[in-house]
Amino acid sequence: MEHELEDSDIEEAMEASISLEKDLHSYLAVRVHELEPGLKLVANGVEFQTDAGRIDLLAKDSNGNLVVIELKAGKAKDGALGQLLGYMGCLSVAESTIRGLLVASGFEPRVVFAAKGLPNVKLVKYQVSFSLQEIK
């Protein structure tokens, strides 16, 4: 039995993904230290505009190094890593040490292998959980 997705199903899934990414963005903008102790957003570090595009979050670590944070609502694919590296490269002209964090609910195997060869890139997996409680 084949199951075909209708346009409305695809649109709904895309809207949910966009909503989740915005929620993740809002959550981490005020709790960036949960990604790594000592991280603090730089001034205007939310949706920071560069020549390579808009960085989701830009922070500094406890050593004063810039940290580019790219957020993905679902599983991170090759393009997400390329996007992060593009932002890092754009900022490296002005700064000596740039680090990158790719935050997603999961990672394609090739992304994990590629990140192993990039000492300044760290992958961070998030998990969303809900608990339900009946109100009596």
What's the CATH code of the domain at 20? Answer: 3.40.1350.10
* Domain membership flag for residue 24: yes
Could you tell me if residue 131 is inside a domain? no
Q: How many domains does the structure of the chain reveal?
A: 1
1 located within any domain: no
Tell me if 44 is assigned to some domain: yes
Domain enclosing residue 78, as ranges? 7-125
Tens of pLDDT along the chain (136 residues) come to 445 556 655 455 444 444 666 778 788 888 899 999 999 999 888 899 999 999 999 999 999 999 999 999 889 999 999 999 999 999 987 767 899 999 999 999 999 999 999 999 999 998 877 677 889 8
Residue 74 lies in a domain: yes
Amino acid 103 reads: V
H or E segment to which residue 90 belongs: helix 78-91
Phi-psi region of 104 (alpha: psi -120 to 50; beta: other; left: phi over 0): beta
